[in-house]
Structure 1
């Protein structure tokens, strides 16, 4: 693995901050940012190489040699930047979702629309199995969005599951971890938990800090395990069934558009960990049937902006692929 000086590690942290910002926003993939910034292959190789042999190497050659062998300086700098970014942006996103939901969900809607186009465009050969895979992915994803959640989004085991599946964004350009959290109904709960932790950290409330910290630790453990599992499995899928894998991912995003449709009608509520009544089940409605102000022109504008931002990111990624 390459040796680095302080400046290079600092730049790695900045790339991590960019990846973290991407992962907080549904529709933008941290994996895409890693690809654009030129660290994607090293990230995959480093993650895939992590195993319990680290402790054997530590015992035999010392911590410094083991640290270097497993390229942990790279991961520390990168994931440190990601963590800083997530902690910084989570509060802003939560505030925007509370005060400007139509604008935010419209922006996310545009991002996902662009992702569908660009991920689907990478399908090399269109045939019946590919079309069937897209349809199945869309149906399964849509059913998930309208089905009552199997558990509270704030429960510990559910956060573990959320971390396990959402980490796919780190190793797969084109799909967002925040999108996965949205799909399974855990996005606002995870953002809320991050905000609870930072608020407790600022106030010095050890009890609240411990509670939120435990949930984030469970989420992180799920992410670490998922990262190790997915890094091998997805590499194998892409090498052997790339078109079918892309087709399923495209279908998932098509079906999930229902989840981020800006205009919703609440069917039932639940009580969150703060004792507040929050929406539990919702259904999509047309702007004309929305009980509040539909803000249609704002929604169209934000959708266009979201689409354009992802278009720009994908353009940079395509430029990096070019031999020129």
Structure 2
């Protein structure tokens, strides 16, 4: 069986050759030097079978697709962020790095027909199954989620509250060392998140450029945990229009929204990558605050404030009926599920390393 190397421990330019082997042990040879005629040294290295490698890739693709479904489901619900799901499942840094890596060099490689370089730069093994999961969830679950939010809002918001509350613990562990700088970043993030929940929806027209603008805003919110792209679409008066376009397969509106979304996410991902590389702890602390401040929007029990348009206070239920009990039960269940997912994701990452 032909094999593929999994360990290449030597620096510099390398030449790798494979050979079928009927004997146990290594079945490939690595030479490092400038070319095949200038070989400095040769050694056998540890290799794994091609079937094992592809099996691992299939399992990773299935896991990424599932994560994409979770992100797509969250993006449909006003008040929940797909970025939160990416953080919970341990793919946030890779997601930001992958999106930020889509640049002019990738486009140049594509135009020159260097498809191998394109696949490597785009991290297609990560991006393709993730996007497939996101779009599958948006297309197939949009109507069902809309129905649940309309007829059973309290249990749904209860589950989302538990999800985000547990997510705070997950993300807080990624901050590292806590101190005054990270505490300040958390406070700023909480203030921003809370302010966003106070925004009042407005009505806007159907001009083409407004759909592009909505895509720009939603893209930034999608990749930021704690800020819901769907909620900002509600504020901009575009949520029902975009959701209707998805359900009706209106390609014009979807295309305009997509142009704005792609432009925004490609640009903002570079900013996030820079922040995560230079101030990872403070950036994660800001995201913790952002998620905490936004929890007001998903609390299931609300009381309208008189004299305001859409204003409400978060309260405890007046009557502990079946719906209230179900909401708190789902809240606890969602929190447990998040913590279990984080634990499993950590074990998988450790095994892969």
Same fold (TM over 0.5): yes
Q: Cα deviation per residue 1:30-77 (whole Å; 9 max; x = unaligned)? A: 5347747xx974x55543332234454344x43756754654854455
Q: With CA pairs under 8 Å and 6+ residues apart, which has the higher RCO, 1 or 2?
A: 1
Distance 2:280 2:123 in 1: 30
1:281 aligns with 2:329: no
Distance 2:59 2:343 in 1: 26
Bigger drift between 141-150 and 297-306 goes to 141-150
2:103 alignment counterpart: 51
Larger radius of gyration: 2
1:136 alignment counterpart: 188
Structure 2 residues not aligned, in runs of 5+: 1-5, 7-49, 75-79
Distance 2:344 2:235 in 1: 27
**Contact residue 242 and residue 253 of structure 2 kept, 8 A:** no
2:143 alignment counterpart: 91
Q: Which has the higher helix share?
A: 1
Distance 1:124 1:57 in 2: 38
1:112-151 matched pairs, under 5 angstroms:
112-149=164-201
**Contact residue 164 and residue 291 of structure 2 kept, 8 A:** yes
1:106-117 matched pairs, under 5 angstroms:
106-117=158-169
**Contact residue 102 and residue 262 of structure 1 kept, 8 A:** yes
Deviation of 1:96 after TM superposition, in Å, equals: 0.5
**Contact residue 303 and residue 312 of structure 2 kept, 8 A:** yes
Distance 2:105 2:81 in 1: 36
1:244 aligns with 2:244: no
Distance 1:249 1:304 in 2: 23
1:164 aligns with 2:219: yes
**Contact residue 57 and residue 66 of structure 1 kept, 8 A:** yes
Cα gap change, 1:124 to 1:56, in 2 (>3 Å): closer
Q: Could you tell me the TM-score, scaled by structure 1's length? A: 0.72
Bigger drift between 99-108 and 235-244 goes to 235-244
Q: 1:196 aligns with which of 217, 241, 244?
A: 244
1:180 aligns with 2:228: yes
Q: Secondary structure at the match of 1:284?
A: strand
Q: Could you tell me the TM-score, scaled by structure 2's length? A: 0.67
1:258 alignment counterpart: 296
Aligned Cα root-mean-square deviation (Å): 4.1
2:343 alignment counterpart: 315
Q: Secondary structure at the match of 1:257?
A: helix
Deviation of 1:83 after TM superposition, in Å, equals: 1.1
**Contact residue 123 and residue 247 of structure 1 kept, 8 A:** yes
Cα gap change, 1:54 to 1:136, in 2 (>3 Å): closer
